Every structure is written in structure tokens, then in C-alpha cells.
A and B are shown apart, each in its own frame.
Chain A
Amino acid sequence: ETGVTQTPRHLVMGMTNKKSLKCEQHLGHNAMYWYKQSAKKPLELMFVYNFKEQTENNSVPSRFSPECPNSSHLFLHLHTLQPEDSALYLCASSQDPPGQTGGYTFGSGTRLTVV
């Protein structure tokens, strides 16, 4: 347990399904992030929320929709995904900006498979 909890751990969904990933942190951090991790590729930053405000959207397709109702919770809503969206989706939190305090604390991720 890292202090950042992600559910579900595994998700298999069809291309026409709608599902949501959930992330929760109680570390008192003020920033939360969604990352996509594909095999042998660098972590891809998707969205950043700082004090509940979205500060970054790295040209992510609209089939991914983030929601941050408060500074402890972060959701990623998924709709009509493509097989190439299959990956590990990691949530992280930090004190913004990241630094000596340990950078980001990551959740264990959701392994998503789109069929």
C-alpha cells in the first residue's frame, strides 16, 4: 500500500463499453496525475490536476475523460476505447512542484485490456 489506491486492478472491456477508473489519496498532496504506461515506452502523462483544477491535458483523445471532485479523488472515465488503448494506467499524487519530498507517489495501476 503506497498511500495511493487505484481500483480496479484489472479491467477488460469491449470497445463499446463505458467504464471508470478510480484513484484515491490521503497523503495531503495537492496534485494528482493520470499516466499511461505501455511496454518499453516512457510513462505518458495524460492529465494533471492541481487543487482540483485541470492544469494539463496532453492531447489525450476525448474517449478519455478525467474528473476530480476533490483533492483526494480522481477518476478516469472511459468510453468507446480502441485496442491500442490497452495499457497500465497509473495514478499518482505529489506536492506540487515535485522535489526532494519524494516526487510522485504512485498507485498500483489498472491493467486495462480493450477487446
Chain B
Amino acid sequence: GQNIDQPTEMTATEGAIVQINCTYQTSGFNGLFWYQQHAGEAPTFLSYNVLDGLEEKGRFSSFLSRSKGYSYLLLKELQMKDSASYLCAVVDSNYQLIWGAGTKLIIKP
């Protein structure tokens, strides 16, 4: 079967750095998305990786290793507004999105 694993919950301190990991086993691979979802709101697009390596976008970076079936989302200079759930999703060989259960990130002052 297809599976996406990510930690259920993480806690970090304002101003610090946090890395949210995502591992996947899917039938084929056509890219990996990270979305941010604040409580009661729509998931919003953060990043898309289809090639190995690190993509940096301001305070957020996303890394992909296709050979290891592994990605991470790196958040720097954490702010209170970064408290949210972070969803990892893989596009499989049929161009369907396979979703992880999300990681709830709690930022403490």
C-alpha cells in the first residue's frame, strides 16, 4: 500500500529552527508538496519538490531525497504565527495526491 509518515506533533521555541520530516512509500513519484494549515482554515501551498535537493523560500526550505523516500520542511526564525499543521503529500504514478496525517507544530514564547 501507499504510506506517508510524519510526526504527529512537534514543539519549538519562538526564534528557533525546526525540521519536520516526511517519509513515503508510494507507487511511483511525481513530486512532493508541503502545505500549511492553520486551525479552521484552508491548507495553503508552501513548496513543491520533484528533484533531489534543497529549495529555499524565505524562512522556509524543503528538501527531497527520492532514493531515500524522504523529505523535510525546515522552518527558521520561528514566529508565533507559524503554529499550524504541516501536511506532506506525494503525487503518485497516477498523479493522485497521497497525504500524510499532518504534523501539528506548537510554538512557545
| Chain A interface residue bracket vs B | 20 to 34
Q: B13 an interface residue at 8 Å Cβ cutoff?
A: no
Smallest CB-CB separation from A10: which chain B residue? B40
Q: B30 an interface residue at 8 Å Cβ cutoff?
A: yes
Give which listed residue, B4, B41, B95, B101, contacts A97 with CB less than 8 A: B95
Smallest CB-CB separation from A103: which chain B residue? B33
For chain B, the count of residues having a C-beta within 8 Å of the partner chain is 25
User: In the complex the two chains form, what is the Cα distance from A104 to B97 in whole Å?
Assistant: 9
Q: B87 an interface residue at 8 Å Cβ cutoff?
A: yes
Q: A107 an interface residue at 8 Å Cβ cutoff?
A: yes
Residues in A52-82 with C-beta less than 8 Å from chain B: 56
B42:A108 contact, CB within 8 angstroms: yes
A100:B50 contact, CB within 8 angstroms: yes
A100:B30 contact, CB within 8 angstroms: no
Give which listed residue, B40, B45, B96, B98, contacts A102 with CB less than 8 A: B45
User: In the complex the two chains form, what is the Cα distance from A30 to B61 in whole Å?
Assistant: 29
Q: A106 an interface residue at 8 Å Cβ cutoff?
A: yes
Q: Which residues of the partner chain A approach B100 to less than 8 Å between Cβ atoms?
A: 42
Q: Which residues of the partner chain A approach B101 to less than 8 Å between Cβ atoms?
A: 40-42
- Would A90 and B42 be within 8 Å (CB), given that A96-B95, A100-B48 are in contact? yes
- Residues on B lying within 8 angstroms of A by beta carbon are 4, 8, 30-31, 33, 35, 40-45, 48, 50, 87, 89, 91, 95-102
- Residues on A lying within 8 angstroms of B by beta carbon are 2, 4, 40-43, 45, 56, 90, 96-100, 102-109, 111
